[in-house]
Amino acid sequence: MTSLSLPIYSKKTKIKGFHGTLSENVDSILKNNFYESEKEIWFGKGVYFFIDGISSESLDYWAKHHTFDNCKDKHKPKTSFEISVLTAEISVNEDLLLDFTNDKLKKMFNGFRRDAIAAAEESGKYIKSQLTDSKLLAAFKNLMEFEFVKSNVYIRLGILRRAEIGSKIDNVTIFVVNNPSKHIQKPSIKEVFKGEIS
């Protein structure tokens, strides 16, 4: 498809993000920058950060414990992991930011979701039950050339996980970056925590 002719001048802001990972990945990240997850999670592929927003917990808390929970689920029966928390300065072009904390942009995506379902149905060959949030979002991001997503989400960690509390009330703000080498300068990446978590 043809380019949408993004504006020449775009407002840029800097955001500090916290990212948790296994300590064994740190050298590679410091040397090569972050790599995008390919998994179909939350907001599709990208590098996921916790950023300042609605959380009452510290951001390194989220980075540590979210990484630990992921590892615990993935590498059973292992129960302890050496985890690092990295911070990075993200240079954000606001014209490329799909900000779900902005009601107008959320409304825009809801319009796209409706139009996408209609387009799929009109094609006459659509197989139902495939339009997951992450696929719709990835299609929307590609069409609109977004490279960042910001959203408040609910994550069940720590005491919430122990108490098995499900909720529709968001508790943390996340930020997803595509093409990290374009938007994150390697010297800005710092390891702020390293330790064994069990």
Partner 1 sequence: MSYESIKNRYDKLFARPDIGDLIVEALQNQGVEFAETKQPYFVSTDCQLSFMDEYKINALDIYEENEELCIITQAA
Work out whether 14 is an interface residue with partner 1 (CB under 8 A).
no
Among 59, 138, 149, 174, binds partner 1 (CB under 8 A): 138
- Of 136 and 197, nearer to partner 1 (C-beta) is 136
Q: What is the dihedral of CA 23, 29, 34, 38, to 10 degrees?
A: -60
Pairing of β 190-197 and β 172-177: unpaired
Q: Which of 22, 51, 108, 157 binds partner 1 (CB under 8 A)?
A: 108
3-state SS assignment for residue 3: coil
Residues 6+ apart with CB under 8 A from 101: 53, 150, 151, 152, 173
What strands lie across the sheet with 148-153, from one edge to the other?
A: 97-99, 148-153, 172-177, 47-51, 12-22, 81-93, 190-197
What amino acid occupies position 122?
E
Binding flag, residue 179, partner 1 (CB under 8 A): no
8 scored as a contact of partner 1 (CB under 8 A): no
Q: For residues 89 and 192, is the Cβ–Cβ distance under 8 A?
A: no
Kindly state whether residue 142 participates in binding partner 1, applying the rule CB under 8 A: yes
- Out of 24, 28, 41, 126, the only residue in the binding site for partner 1 (CB under 8 A) is 126
Question: Minimal distance in Å, beta carbon 106 to partner 1?
Answer: 11
- Contact assessment for residue 68 and residue 60, using Cβ atoms and an 8 Å cutoff: no
* Per CB under 8 A, 159 contacts partner 1: no
Selected binder of partner 1 within 105, 157, 160, 197 (CB under 8 A): 105
Q: Among 24, 27, 133, 145, which residue sits at the site for partner 1 (rule: CB under 8 A)?
A: 145
CB of 74 to partner 1, least distance (A): 22
Q: Does 38 bind partner 1 (CB under 8 A)?
A: no
Q: What is the DSSP letter of 52?
A: S
**Which residues make up the interface to partner 1 (CB under 8 A)?**
1, 4, 6-7, 10-11, 94-95, 97, 102, 104-105, 108, 115-116, 119-128, 130-131, 135-136, 138-140, 142-145
